[in-house]
Amino acid sequence: MTVPYDQALSEFEAVIGLETHVELGTAAKMFCGCDTSFGAEPNTHTCPVCLGLPGALPVVNAQAIESTIRIGLALHCDIAAWCRFARKNYFYPDMPKNFQTSQYDEPLCTGGYLDVDVPGEDGTPEVVRVPIERVHLEEDTGKSLHVGGATGRIHGASHSLVDYNRAGIPLVEIVTRPVVGTGPRAAEVARAYVAELRDVLRGLGVSDVRMEQGSLRCDVNVSLNRPGQPWGTRSETKNVNSLRSVERAVRSEVERQAARLRDGERIVQETRHFHEDTGLSTPGRSKEEATDYRYFPEPDLAPVAPDPAWVAELRAALPDPPSVRRKRLTAELGLSARDSAAMVNAGVLDLVLATVEAGAPAAEARNMWLGPLAQAANTRGVEAADLPVAPAQVARVVELVSSGALTAGLARQVVDGVLAGEGEPDDVVAGRGLAVVSDEGALGEAVDAALAAQPAVAEKVRAGKVQAVGALVGAVMKATRGQADAPVVRRLLLERLGVEG
Amino acid sequence: MTDLTRLTAVETAAAVASRDVSAVEVARAHLDRIAAVDGAVHAFLHVDADGALAQAARVDAGEVTGPLAGVPLALKDVIVTRGVPTTVGSRILEGWRPPYDATVTTRLRDAGVVVLGKTNMDEFAMGSSTEHSAYGPTHNPWDLTRTPGGSGGGSAAAVAAYEAPLGVGTDTGGSIRQPASVTGTVGVKPTYGGVSRFGLVAFSSSLDQAGPCARTVLDAALLHEAIGGHDPADSTSIDAPVPPVVEAARRASVQGLRVAVVRELTGEGYEAGVQERFDEAVALLSELGATVTEVSCPHFVHALPAYYLIAPSEASSNLARFDSVRYGLRVGDDGDRSLEEVMSLTRDAGFGAEVKRRIILGTYALSSGYYDAYYGQAQKVRTLITRDFTAAFEQADVLVSPASPGVAFPLGAKLDDPLAMYRQDLATIPSNLYGGPAMSLPVGLSEGLPVGLQVMAPTMRDDLLYQVGGALEAALHDRWGGPLLASAPELEAARA
Ligand SMILES: [Zn+2]
């Protein structure tokens, strides 16, 4: 039983919290020199250190420390003058040492915030400040594959395979403080926070932030309370791996908890698993069975004590935050507040701006992202930002159109090709043979065929009904699969018919 | 012809360098000695004859040179060796051949040292008698019915039994020094961070330190220099040159040096014979020109309980990786049992009682709600002990004490009394908690068994140990007319 979201939030106040894990894009792993690239043969990116062999010791990747400090600075955190790693002890086969080297009570960054834009009641953006509790650095685990079971889960599996390629990849955990007072927009704020965080991280260049590949992963905490009452018991929904799912996870949890509370039932403090297919979550471990992680300072690693002068240098070299960059670019491009709000809503503003920065005129960039690309995202059920096309590639398509090498129709086909993984726009043009045909000789045959096929139409045009030529142009375009240069076709037809254009 | 096994490392290296003997001959002589006596001593868990002879041949071919080229060595089985079994004295790693070398192993090879094999030890270095080895105890060459101490009883016994002139041990709470003390050999725990821990199977990461075992102070110094020095693969390794230990061992003078006896490490709890030999040695230091005083380190009395919280806590985490998934023993994997059951059965079958005791102790000490009272409190004691050392080193250049409260004890004597066993490390543990270097060297016999004196120095002043040890050793050899080990019974006779 659930209570509809809007109704639930008119009756209850939601407190949300987000824990985000970001795989850093460092060349080497957190504590060894192994390669971090995605998609290699299982267990080929491993060594004694990341396999946790007896006697092997970790050495901290300085680039990972730097990236974490830059993230902390971008989120307005304080950077610890001295901190240590800690061991989080628990047994799991995809964790080679059966402890995770993480940070516990001495995180590298603490106490920041991130401002996010959420559409207000009239559609214009309103700023919500999300408080950040901490940003810390840890190592990722390997991945288990359970074979023989019905669902790929460990239950019922005949055996398990473990891939340690991911084990030891640097992982930054960004934890918000409880976010309160979001009113009816709890789910939108959660989603906007993750989207904004992703833009910040992308701007810093510290991660490729691909949610679908797991380089950005989210855990969503939700609790409800009646106005004026203390906060309720929270649940934690794990592995919410797309922006859309972040929003859906909050919504479904609000609806589920509201129904229970309304019926006078207790909310159990538990971990829940999110299912992308249904948008719902099912209960996992309850707090009563929670592991005692027996944290203690990692004795194999020296404490981290970033030089304040270096931290100041990193701070000075930070890129503009996405919000500032957005304001600057929208002002430069003369976009109206309403126009940019529409793009924010469609989740394409940053993509449009990036496309402009890559050289496209604003109007064309906007049309591409709100047009064919928004449609493609919709068809695939993903965010536009998750489409496998980069703003620079979109800018190239725009350039090909404005140079006359492509028509609007061909541009759409090129975009489809890029999305289908056929390579760069120029590769798709060459591969699919999509260049505009404006050569009169080459078009002559199609023009003659169109005239021969539709003699009645040809006669009408000859008789002075010039606008009827459209049908003939259409036939030529169809015959050339959209590749013909339409104005040239029209001129050729009229010449053949002896009519002034 | 001289018995090659009776030479010191310095003499052996000189003989090989001058081509009086080949490194292969030296290696064969030691392998023969092992074949002859190790059935009685059981110092070795694995003898790598092929590897030793191949390395000796490299030395003879002139591929490697150096002050220890061609000198045989007994390597404690806690240090990983590529392709050569490394068990840590445990069933859980039986048959494991590491795919990589420890930094210590690499440095030994690069120095031309000939590793004869891997030596016995208390399982995971947890013990003071080598009786907790899963592969049976090592016997003390001085009296085969007694233990050689532990955990590095194998390396110490090998050196004392002339199976090798050099050994490498590891010292977490005294595992190099206490065996040295009861076998009449020299053992040194370097400054923490002075020798790389990369490839040393961890017991307690913040305390473990590899170091030399030898029959003379100078031999120990040469080995210390060969294995010491910064290693970027170990984050806790000190980025500074090895202190001038060889030079100090050669200088061997205590003239004008301030030596202080630690009041808390003498008297009650120390055997009378041990105390007598210690007092005589201190008097000798005074005769040699040292200024001898007494200092108090009031927090040393808490060292043993603090150690038995910190070391097991770290061990409980370090030993979690032995779960049957990637290497080592696997028990109960019959296709029906769950992964957790297989892990649990493996650990139950693979770990011995003492290891389990410490894992449980450490797990408890780190548990939520107990952390502050146990692990946290122990860390505070550690800080206080460090302060005691710092204060003492304002009054003295080095501190001295008996290295072990007693002489070698009979096999089985303390197996049923863990606390009595733990007290063997009363005098050695403080230096591990502090991180400073310490040495045990033989200063005489009590009841016909060796007694060791411990010298402790400030961190990164390892040279002071060798300076004092060298002076004392020279004076004692003069007094005895040769090394103490010369008075040890002949092993062949003992076996007969
Ligand atoms: Zn690795």
> By the 8 A CB rule, do B103 and B234 touch?
yes
Asked if ipTM goes beyond 0.90, one says yes
pLDDT above 60 for B494: no
Chain A neighbors of B199, CB-CB under 8 A: 55-56
Strands (E), B58-209: 72-76, 114-119, 166-170, 186-189
Judged by CB atoms closer than 8 Å, whether chains meet at A300 and B79 is answered as no
The single residue of B129, B175, B196, B431 carrying the catalytic annotation is: B175
How crowded is residue A203: how many other Cβ atoms within 10 Å of its Cβ? 17
Q: Which residue, A483, A359, A351, is CA-closest to A412? A: A483
Q: Give the pairing type, strands B398-402 and B258-262.
A: parallel
Sheet holding A296-297, edge to edge: A99-102, A86-89, A296-297
Given CB atoms, is A28 within the 8 Å cutoff of chain B?
A: no
pLDDT on residue A459: 87
Ligand 1 geometric centre to CA of A47 (Å)? 4
Active site residue B76: yes
Q: Distance of CA A472 to CAs A113, A407, A475, B240, Å? A: 62, 18, 5, 86
Distance of CA A307 to the CA centre of its chain: 33
Domain ranges in chain A?
A: 5-314, 320-432, 440-497
> By the 8 A CB rule, do A399 and A364 touch?
no
Q: What SS3 state is found at B408?
A: coil
Task: List, for residues B363-407, the tens digit of each pLDDT value.
Answer: 999 998 999 999 999 999 999 999 999 999 999 999 999 999 999
Burial A381-402 (b: 16+ CB within 10 A, else e): ebbbbbbebebebbbbbbbbbe
Q: Which residue, A223, A222, A267, A268, is CA-closest to A247? A: A222
Classified by CATH at the fold level, domain B4-300+382-495 comes out as Amidase signature (AS) enzymes (3.90.1300)
Task: List, for residues B17-33, the tens digit of each pLDDT value.
Answer: 999 999 999 999 999 99
CB-side neighbour CA atoms (13 Å) of A95: 17
Ligand 1 geometric centre to CA of B235 (Å)? 16
Distance of CA A481 to the CA centre of its chain: 35
pLDDT on residue B403: 98
Ligand 1 geometric centre to CA of A27 (Å)? 12
Given CB atoms, is A87 within the 8 Å cutoff of chain B?
A: yes
**DSSP line for B213-277:** EESSHHHHHHHHHHHBS--TT-TTS--SPPP-HHHHHHH---TT-EEEEEGGGSSTTS-HHHHHH
Cβ-Cβ contacts under 8 Å between A and B: the total is 100
Task: List, for residues A255-281, the tens digit of each pLDDT value.
Answer: 999 999 999 999 999 899 998 888 889
Q: How far apart are CA A391 and CA A209, in angstroms?
A: 15
pLDDT above 50 for B493: no
Q: How far is B322 from chain A (nearest CA, A)?
A: 8
Rg (CA), chain B: 21
Per-residue pLDDT of chain A (501 residues; tens, 9 = 90+): 789 999 999 999 999 999 999 999 999 999 999 999 888 999 999 999 999 999 999 999 999 999 999 999 999 999 999 999 999 999 988 999 999 999 999 999 999 999 998 877 776 778 999 999 999 999 999 998 888 765 555 666 777 899 999 999 999 999 999 999 999 999 999 999 999 999 899 889 999 888 877 889 999 999 999 999 999 999 999 989 888 899 999 999 999 999 999 999 999 998 999 988 888 899 886 655 667 999 999 999 999 999 999 999 999 999 988 888 778 877 877 877 777 777 877 778 888 888 988 889 888 888 899 888 988 888 887 778 878 888 889 999 999 888 888 888 888 889 999 998 888 999 988 888 887 777 777 788 888 888 888 888 888 888 888 888 888 888 888 888 778 888 888 888 888 888 876
Ligand 1 geometric centre to CA of A293 (Å)? 24
H-run or E-run covering A236: strand A235-240
Active site residue B151: yes
Strand partners, A225: A13
Q: How far apart are CA B204 and CA B278, in angstroms?
A: 30
Active site residue B189: no
Q: Which residue, B134, B38, B55, is CA-closest to B93? A: B134
Q: How far apart are CA B429 and CA A241, in angstroms?
A: 51
A279 by Cβ neighbours in 10 Å (0-12 / 13-18 / 19+) ranks as middle
Q: Which residue, A218, A222, A227, is CA-closest to A269? A: A222
Task: Output phi, psi for B81, to 5 deg.
Answer: -135, 125
More confident residue, B351 or A450: B351
Task: List, for residues B415-443, the tens digit of each pLDDT value.
Answer: 999 999 999 999 999 999 999 999 999 99
What tokens does A59 get? Answer: 């050495």
B307 Ramachandran zone, left/alpha/beta (phi>0; psi -120 to 50): alpha
Ligand 1 geometric centre to CA of A141 (Å)? 12
Q: Which residue, B222, B214, B124, is CA-closest to B168? A: B214
pLDDT on residue A152: 55
CA torsion sign, A367 to A369 to A375 to A378?
Answer: negative
Domain ranges in chain B?
A: 4-300+382-495
**pTM value > 0.95:** no
pLDDT above 70 for B496: no
Task: List, for residues A333-350, the tens digit of each pLDDT value.
Answer: 787 777 777 787 777 888
pLDDT on residue B495: 46
> By the 8 A CB rule, do A489 and A436 touch?
no
Judged by CB atoms closer than 8 Å, whether chains meet at B367 and A301 is answered as no
Judged by CB atoms closer than 8 Å, whether chains meet at B98 and A55 is answered as yes
Given CB atoms, is A96 within the 8 Å cutoff of chain B?
A: yes
**DSSP line for B284-341:** HHHHTT-EEEEE--GGGGGHHHHHHHHHHHHHHHHGGG-SSSSSS-----SSSS-HHH
Q: Determine the residue of chain B that is closest to A160 in CA distance.
A: B339
Strand partners, A86: A102, A297
Arithmetic mean of pLDDT over chain B: 96
> By the 8 A CB rule, do A416 and A375 touch?
no
What tokens does B379 get? Answer: 């860390």
Judged by CB atoms closer than 8 Å, whether chains meet at A55 and B201 is answered as yes
Given CB atoms, is A290 within the 8 Å cutoff of chain B?
A: no
**Residue A73 one-letter amino acid:** L
How crowded is residue A124: how many other Cβ atoms within 10 Å of its Cβ? 13
pLDDT on residue A287: 59
Burial A450-467 (b: 16+ CB within 10 A, else e): bbeebeebbebbeeeebe
- CB-nearest to B197 from A57, A98, A302 is A57
DSSP letter for B9, please. H
The single residue of B76, B118, B189, B414 carrying the catalytic annotation is: B76
The CATH-assigned architecture of domain A440-497 is Orthogonal Bundle (1.10)
- CB-nearest to B321 from A59, A98, A296 is A98
Locate tokens 């889960």: which residue? A153
